[in-house]
Structure 1
Amino acid sequence: MGQRAAARNGRSRRRSRRNTGRRRPTGPILLLGVCLALMSVGAGAALAHWRGGPPPAEAADGTDVAPLMSQDPAPEPSASPSPSPSAGSSPKPKPKPSPSPSAKSEPPSVPASGPGTFTVAQSSGTAAGTGTLRRYKVEVEDGIDVSAQQAAAEIQQILAHPRGWAANGRGRFQLVSSNADFVIRIATPATADKLCLAVGLNTRGELNCETTEGVVVNLRRWLLGSPTFAGTPAEYRHLIINHEVGHEIGIRQHMGCPGPGEPAPVMMQQIKGLKGCVSNAWPYDDDGTYLSGPPV
């Protein structure tokens, strides 16, 4: 009994020493710890890829793979500063803005009426052409913003043109400021109608005419030209002067179109339609041939 008791006491002391020491992890527990560590590393790598790497991959069915979420999302990338031009380079020119519709040039406004009084152009010149001397003066209705001096200079050039009346033996024309044989007046539509109606001509606020005193030019035609004339208003003024002065020198009858594609005679009322002709502002062509048509 004493030996057995002693043996039992020895075994009890050895077990007590083993129980007081640290136990080593068993196999299943160790395997579980390794798996948890690997999952932590994989989640961290995936989160880093979503924040700073390329966009998420696309699944086979075309839908985006949902990114991993984070408690503190990465900050928005700041915009890159615009590069400043170097000392040896010039900045790119900015494109010019397209002009707005309001920037387009508008036709000049034409007053419908005026006071009926006129300013005489105080200018004179030498006679141009050959034949009978015809002195003329230019008057412009007051308050219409047309210079009498400038209008007179323009008319003087028209009458002395190589394709005009003076250059082709139909008279000598001289600009004067007094003692004129006839007068060329530029008047508002209402005043022009009144002057033309005095000789029985109804110009309807649109047309020019020739009276016993001379030529009446409708301001609307002087400034705007004609919708049937293929040229600028300045070119149409040539037709106005040549047509009305043609009446002044004795050509009483109007002419029609001589044929399709032919230049319209200057004595044709081109504002009423060209009838197949081409608009023309001169009584003669470059060869000095008179441009005529059938009488109307």
Structure 2
Amino acid sequence: MGRRAAPAGRRGTGGKRRSGTRFGLPALVLTTVVLGAGAALADLDDTAGKTTAAPTAERTTATASPRPTPTGPTRTAAPPPARPAPATPTPESGPKPRATPKRTAVKRPQVPRSGAGTFTTARSSGAPTGSGGTLRRYRVQVEDGIALSARDTAAEIQRILAHPRSWAAHGRGRFQLVSENADFVIRIATPDTADALCLRQGLRTRGELNCETADGVVVNLRRWMLGSPTFAGEAEEYRHLIINHEVGHEIGIRTHLGCPGPGRLAPAMMQQIKGLHGCRSNAFPYDEGGSYITGPIVS
């Protein structure tokens, strides 16, 4: 809205004509008292909220000239019009600036350091995934007391292995979820339990890493829930890398790969948690065009 001008002051009311008085004396001192009630200036309307004191009656003394006072009515001059009060400035109209919203911190899940050391097997099974290669049956176990559903975890791993950029979609093997008589097991374990299981194979995981053992894959719960600080993606996507990397060992890829060049996709068989070395993080063995992502052999 624009500025609103303060209302103009009201004009004072002029004096009425009075009948003249004839005086017989040649000289007369005429004393005229102008009272506030007769010809007072109107109060100004102060839009700033100030209180204006009532005008004080003003006394004026006029001295008659030596010449005879003319006969006839006299005219009393009207008071000058009141000047309007200056407009009080108002704030500029327009949209008010919006307060910057506070960024809500994402709450990271709490990962227990250790657990019971015992496991629950997912009581579920599915049809084989993939159309070529050796059939490998696997079961999923989750350490007790970590508030992670064995059945839900098994279903997620099943989806990962069936992804179109994973091993099964490119003839590198067929995989089937079972609850018994498995060829290998995938375990989700707390950091302490994972360290103990990996150490039996002579592997030191320091509470951070996953490993492959004689009977299957050990997944560190910290990596499963939090992802990796070197991976540019959510934990859900990083789980694809965990399963693809460890199952890659299960299907016979015994070595690790390095970065093929700056800016290129890191191979799934690269230990990306130890650094990308110029590559872009990647969770899949194959790119979107179906080409296998490889690199120099490092171990």
TM-score > 0.5 by shorter chain: yes
Assess, with a 3 A threshold, how the Cα gap between structure 1 residues 97 and 176 changes in structure 2: closer, same or farther: farther
User: Which residue of structure 1 aligns with residue 269 of structure 2?
Assistant: 267
1:171 Cα offset (Å): 1.3
Report the 3-state secondary structure (helix = DSSP H, G, I; strand = E; otherwise coil) of the residue aligned with 1:45.
coil
2: distance between equivalents of 1:67 and 1:133? Answer: 96
Report the 3-state secondary structure (helix = DSSP H, G, I; strand = E; otherwise coil) of the residue aligned with 1:128.
coil
User: Which residue of structure 2 aligns with residue 145 of structure 1?
Assistant: 147
Q: Deviations over 1:170-192 (max 9, x none)?
A: 11111000111110001111111
Q: Is the 8 A contact 2:46 2:52 kept in 1?
A: no
1: distance between equivalents of 2:125 and 2:47? Answer: 87
1: distance between equivalents of 2:100 and 2:147? Answer: 32
User: Which residue of structure 2 aligns with residue 69 of structure 1?
Assistant: 53
1:146 Cα offset (Å): 1.2
Assess, with a 3 A threshold, how the Cα gap between structure 1 residues 116 and 38 changes in structure 2: closer, same or farther: same
1: distance between equivalents of 2:154 and 2:98? Answer: 41
Q: Is the 8 A contact 2:167 2:244 kept in 1?
A: yes
2: distance between equivalents of 1:96 and 1:223? Answer: 37
1: distance between equivalents of 2:47 and 2:134? Answer: 96
Matched to 1:176, the amino acid is V
Matched, 1:201 2:203: yes
2: distance between equivalents of 1:265 and 1:187? Answer: 25
User: Which residue of structure 2 aligns with residue 37 of structure 1?
Assistant: 34
2: distance between equivalents of 1:202 and 1:114? Answer: 19
User: Which residue of structure 2 aligns with residue 294 of structure 1?
Assistant: 296
1:165 Cα offset (Å): 1.1
Matched to 1:228, the amino acid is T
Q: Is the 8 A contact 2:287 2:293 kept in 1?
A: yes
Q: Deviations over 1:156-206 (max 9, x none)?
A: 111122211112121111100011111000111111111111111111111
From the CA coordinates, give the structure whose radius of gyration is larger.
Answer: 1
Give the structure with the higher percent helix: 1
Matched, 1:212 2:211: no
2: distance between equivalents of 1:222 and 1:203? Answer: 15
User: Which residue of structure 2 aligns with residue 131 of structure 1?
Assistant: 133
1: distance between equivalents of 2:28 and 2:252? Answer: 133
User: Which residue of structure 2 aligns with residue 27 of structure 1?
Assistant: 28
Report the 3-state secondary structure (helix = DSSP H, G, I; strand = E; otherwise coil) of the residue aligned with 2:163.
coil
Which 5+ residue runs of structure 1 have no aligned equivalent?
1-23, 57-65, 72-94
The one of 245, 258, 271 equivalent to 1:256 is: 258
Count of matched residue positions in the alignment of Structure 1 and Structure 2: 232
2: distance between equivalents of 1:287 and 1:54? Answer: 75
1:38 Cα offset (Å): 5.3
Q: TM-score scaled by structure 1?
A: 0.71
1: distance between equivalents of 2:102 and 2:51? Answer: 49
1:45 Cα offset (Å): 2.0
Q: Deviations over 1:108-144 (max 9, x none)?
A: 1111111111111110011112211111000011111
Larger RCO: Structure 1 or Structure 2 (Cα < 8 Å, ≥ 6 residues apart)?
2
Matched, 1:233 2:229: no
2: distance between equivalents of 1:245 and 1:99? Answer: 44
